[in-house]
């Protein structure tokens, strides 16, 4: 659904924002790697190395309509019935925001970066 100054379901030229509603369907923990800077020694430039770390991956899909034409999920489903979002994070503090929320629904707001 698009949202602008007039509210849900509208778009204008001043503000372009799209709102979707997705359900958290998967939380995975696995091993990955992250880039780590090594301090410079003996006047040599600093180096970069990779080291193992825990990685979290979340997967989301659009909410589905429940047959009630007035229910919010049905309205979102009519606007975006198919899609997926996969997000892999090495920032575990950010990943913890999803915690044990498997099955929870989230709004995803898309706004152009300027």
- For residue 5, pLDDT over 50 is answered with no
Encode pLDDT of 23-45 as tens digits.
Answer: 999 999 999 999 888 877 776 66
Contact 1, 9 (CB under 8 A): yes
Average pLDDT of the chain?
84
Contact 86, 56 (CB under 8 A): no
- For residue 6, pLDDT over 50 is answered with no
- For residue 2, pLDDT over 60 is answered with no
Tokens representing 84 are 């997926």
Task: Work out whether the CA dihedral 110, 84, 101, 93 comes out positive or negative.
Answer: negative
């Amino acid at each position: 659904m698009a949202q602008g100054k007039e509210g849900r379901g509208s778009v204008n030229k001043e503000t372009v924002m799209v709102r979707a509603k997705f359900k958290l369907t998967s939380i995975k923990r696995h091993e990955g790697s992250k880039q780590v800077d090594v301090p410079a020694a003996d006047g040599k430039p600093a180096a970069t190395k990779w080291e193992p770390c825990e990685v979290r991956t979340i997967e989301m899909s659009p909410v589905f309509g429940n047959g009630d034409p007035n229910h919010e999920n049905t309205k979102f489903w009519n606007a975006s019935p198919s899609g997926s979002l996969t997000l892999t994070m090495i920032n575990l503090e950010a990943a913890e925001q999803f915690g044990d929320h498997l099955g929870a629904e989230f709004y995803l707001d898309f706004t152009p970066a300027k």
